[in-house]
Amino acid sequence: MSELIGEEIKYQGPRFDVVRKIFKNEKIEYIRDIAQTKDAVVVIPITENNEIIFVKQTREVVGEETLELPAGIIEEGEDNKVAGLRELKEETGYIANSIEFLTEAYASCGFTNEKLYYYVAKDLVLDKQQLDEDETITEVIKIPAEKCIEMVKNNEFKTASANIALLHYYLKYMK
Amino acid sequence: MSELIGEEIKYQGPRFDVVRKIFKNEKIEYIRDIAQTKDAVVVIPITENNEIIFVKQTREVVGEETLELPAGIIEEGEDNKVAGLRELKEETGYIANSIEFLTEAYASCGFTNEKLYYYVAKDLVLDKQQLDEDETITEVIKIPAEKCIEMVKNNEFKTASANIALLHYYLKYMK
């Protein structure tokens, strides 16, 4: 087993910090740079017609347009479900009267501690979207659940979070 | 649409850099910090008995032990399949005589450009493991494919990559 022998903050930013940890095993000393972030929540909103609600988004970070589920950072001290309901409302305008845990997973545990928590939201009522000023959501789109699984199979979703959410939902509720 | 109006390297590290990009939309100027990394490859090695080969790993970045598929960085100019075969051999000792594209996905496109490419490896022959000196793999484990899907359903895999690989494999080959 490796032993932690040192730690240093290398960078502090608004979205994530970089923390360098130094470890020692039987053979050598080695480092791990960590993009340290808050956790995030992803919501799969299902309408009574068995459609899933997506947001079309321009992702500057990867230079692509993506079709994603409503999602966002869980703020300090905020309950996961509360964060999910808040992001759903802000990004799509929908209020959910039911929200249920689906799964959780680390985004990429070789270099970031980011963990995503996935929830299914139902009993939806449309209210008003409240986008942030730097929000890049351009459209809210409903797609029948069965069609979503075909789209997953055809590699049409570009993000890990959409793939994980839809496939876990399929395995748990549609199989 | 937002316009890129500036770019600055904030941090350079061995695993990823931090690049700040400044954008302007109709309302405001805003920034995106990007953890800029090389892409990665994930391999699902299937034995002739329909077992999937995993590596048990200590992940310092999240402070947990994980059960993961063989995976690693695609080096500059390296072909994805070659990288997959290399990582498979280094981490598990297996040489694959067949490797086939399964899917691809961005890890977390709100803050990192990391993209993972997934491949299914077959016709396996056991040779010799070649772990890096800072490698934290402690065990190579075979699990029947059907059992893996049960484990996914029970949220037993902690990483996005294992979930995506197994669920896409299930959808494409086991359904």
The pLDDT tens digits of the residues spanning A96-128 come to: 999 999 999 999 999 999 999 999 999 999 998
**Which tokens in the block code for residue A62?**
């990867």
DSSP state of B74: P
pLDDT of residue B136: 85
Helix axes B160-169, B145-153, angle to 10 degrees: 130
Q: Are the Cβ atoms of A10 and B14 closer than 8 angstroms?
A: no
Mark yes or no for CB contact B116/A60 under 8 Å. Answer: no
Whole-number pLDDT of residue B153? 96
Interface test with B, best of A137, A150, A163 (most B CBs within 10 A): A163
Residue of B nearest to A71 (CA): B110
Of A33, A109, A160, the CB nearest to B66: A109
Q: What is the pLDDT of residue A175?
A: 85
Query: What is the predicted pLDDT for the residue at A174?
Result: 93
Owner of token pair 């953890």: B35
Residue from B103, B43, B146 nearest A163 by CA: B103
B35 chain-A contacts, CB cut-off 8 A:
16, 35, 111-112
Query: Which residues in chain A are contacts of B159 at CB distance < 8 A?
Result: 105-106, 108-109
Predicted pLDDT at B134: 83
pLDDT over 70, % of chain A: 99
pTM recorded for the entire structure: 0.96
B155: how many CB neighbours lie within 10 A of its CB? 15
B129: phi then psi, degrees, rounded to nearest 5: -65, 145
Percentage with pLDDT > 90 across chain B: 90
pLDDT digits (tens, 9 = 90+) for A128-168: 888 888 888 889 999 999 999 999 999 999 999 999 999 99
What is the structure's pLDDT at A132?
84
Q: Is A131 helix (H, G, I), strand (E, B) or coil?
A: coil
Q: Measure CB to CB from residue B107 to each of A33, A58, A160 and give the nearest one.
A: A160
Q: What gap in Å lies between CA B165 and CA A24, rounded to an integer?
A: 32
Which pLDDT value is given to residue B2? 85
Distance, in Å, from the CA atom of B9 to the CA atom of B21, rounded to the nearest integer, reads 9
Q: What span, in angstroms and rounded, lies between the C-alpha atoms of B81 and B121?
A: 10
| Backbone φ, ψ for residue B146 (5° rounding) | -60, -40
Annotated active-site residue in A3, A26, A76, A133: A133
Nearest Cα neighbor of B39 from B119, B112, B131, B120 is B112
Catalytic residue among B3, B51, B133, B150: B133
CB A153 within 8 Å of CB A72: no
Task: Round the average pLDDT of chain A to a whole number and report it.
Answer: 96
Q: Supply the pLDDT for residue A56.
A: 96
Q: What is the pLDDT of residue B175?
A: 84
Q: pLDDT digit string (tens) for B130-148?
A: 888 888 888 999 999 999 9
Nearest to B59 by CA among B50, B51, B48, B68: B68
Judged against a pLDDT cut of 80, whether residue B161 lies above it is answered with yes
A61 contacts B109? CB cut-off 8 A? yes
Model confidence at A6, pLDDT cuts 50, 70, 90, reads very high
Positive or negative, the CA dihedral A71, B169, A156, B69 is: positive
What pLDDT score does B60 carry?
A: 92
Query: How near does any CA of chain B get to the CA of A136, in Å?
Result: 8
Identify any residues that bridge with B7 across adjacent strands, giving them in sequence order.
B21
- Subunit contact A160:B15, Cβ cutoff 8 A: no
Whether A7 sits among the annotated catalytic residues: the reply is no
Per-residue pLDDT tens for B99-128? 999 999 999 999 999 999 999 999 999 998
The secondary structure of A87-103 as a DSSP string is HHHHHH-EEEEEEEEEE
Calpha distance B131→B58 (Å, rounded): 14
pLDDT band at B70 (very low <50, low <70, confident <90, very high): very high
